[in-house]
Amino acid sequence: MSLLETSSPRPGPLRAVGAGRKLVALLAIGILVAAVPRPVVLAALTGIGLLALVLARPQRRDLVRLGAAWALAAAVTAGVQLVTADRAAALGSVLRLTALALPALAVMASTATEELLDTVLSAARPLRHLGVRPDSVALTAALTIRFVPELADTAARLRDAQRARGARPQLLALAVPLLVHALTTSEQVAQAVVARSFFDRGEPADGPSPDTDPALCARA
């Protein structure tokens, strides 16, 4: 299992637009929805979202998964509004959720995960002047992605061990050994990072190689 094996957007008009622009546009829509929740604005944004979604050509799998989440949220909110307020309020709430969900779905369906990750991480670059080193940010994200499968595996083994002793999987008995494992592993990873002089190499090369990438070497 890898966290990165998750998206394979199909080519389309929205696919060609940069991830940064799409994220900024999405943020702007979010602010508009929260700041000016008039029916006209919401309807217009829903229209734009629908158009974006058509241009994004989402896969059916994404459409179903996110559609179900949206339907649940819309049903709950509309139900609450119908009981506590009136039909207009319920309609307004559903329209708000739709105006947000459609463009969000369009962005997610038309952008590759790696591209989104690059964009989000490069947003940290201007923070360099505040002492945030871009290579540290990238290393942290890479290490997290690398160790999630490993930690999930450990969690599964801990649960199996509990079942073997005839106990139902307990939260406390999972969390404590998992954390102790994570903290001990983090010490080994830190030593691996230092041993490879990660911070002494100046400007990072084009990409991590299996010889120098601590994320790949730490468990070797």
Partner 1 sequence: MSETVRARAIAEVALMAGVIIVLGLVPPLYVLGLPVPITAQTLGVMLAGAVLGARRGGLAALVVLVLCAASLPVMVGGSGGVGVLLGPTGGYALGFVPGAVVTGLAARRALRLPPRTRGVGLVGACLLGGVLVVYALGIPWTAAVTGLPLRTAALGALVFVPGDLLKAVLAGMAALLVHRQVHVEQMRELVLDDEARPRA
Judged by CB under 8 A, the chain residues 87 through 126 that form the site for partner 1 are: 89, 92-93, 96-97, 100-101, 104-105, 107-108, 111, 113, 116-117, 119-121
197 sits in the region (left: phi over 0; alpha: psi -120 to 50; else beta) called: left
The answer to whether 155 contacts partner 1 (rule: CB under 8 A) is yes
8 A C-beta contact, residue 97 and residue 70:
yes
The rounded distance, in Å, linking the Cα atoms of 55 and 36 is: 26
Is 216 a binding residue for partner 1 by CB under 8 A? The answer is no
Closer of 54 and 117 to partner 1 (Cβ): 117
Q: Is 43 in the site for partner 1 (CB under 8 A)?
A: no
Among 182, 208, 216, 217, binds partner 1 (CB under 8 A): 182
**Residue 7 within binding range of partner 1, rule CB under 8 A:** yes
**Residue 23, exposed/middle/buried by CB under 10 A (0-12, 13-18, 19+)?**
middle
Q: Which is nearer to partner 1, 182 or 216 (CB)?
A: 182
How would DSSP label each residue in 22-85? HHHHHHHHHHHHHH---HHHHHHHHHHHHHHHHHH---HHHHHHHHHHHHHHHHHHHHHHHHHS
171 binds partner 1 (CB under 8 A): yes
Whole-number minimum distance, CB 109 to partner 1, in Å?
10
Which range, of 10-18, 49-57, 162-170, 202-210, touches partner 1 by CB under 8 A?
162-170
Asked if 125 and 18 touch (Cβ cutoff 8 Å), the reply is: no
Count of CB atoms situated within 10 Å of the CB of 81: 18
List the structure tokens of 22.
């799409």
Stretch that binds partner 1, among 10-18, 48-56, 187-195, 203-211 (CB under 8 A): 187-195
The verdict on 75 binding partner 1 (CB under 8 A) reads no
Q: Which is nearer to partner 1, 64 or 85 (CB)?
A: 85
Contact flag: residue 73 with partner 1 (CB under 8 A)? yes
Cα 4 from Cα 145, distance rounded (Å): 8
Site for partner 1 (CB under 8 A): how many residues? 76
Spatial distance between the Cα atoms of 207 and 197, rounded to a whole number of angstroms: 16
The answer to whether 68 contacts partner 1 (rule: CB under 8 A) is no
Q: By CB under 8 A, is residue 130 in contact with partner 1?
A: no
From the CA atom positions of the chain, what is the Rg in Å? 23
Query: Is 194 a residue that touches partner 1 (CB under 8 A)?
Result: yes
DSSP 41: H
To partner 1, the closest distance from the beta carbon of 16 in angstroms equals 18
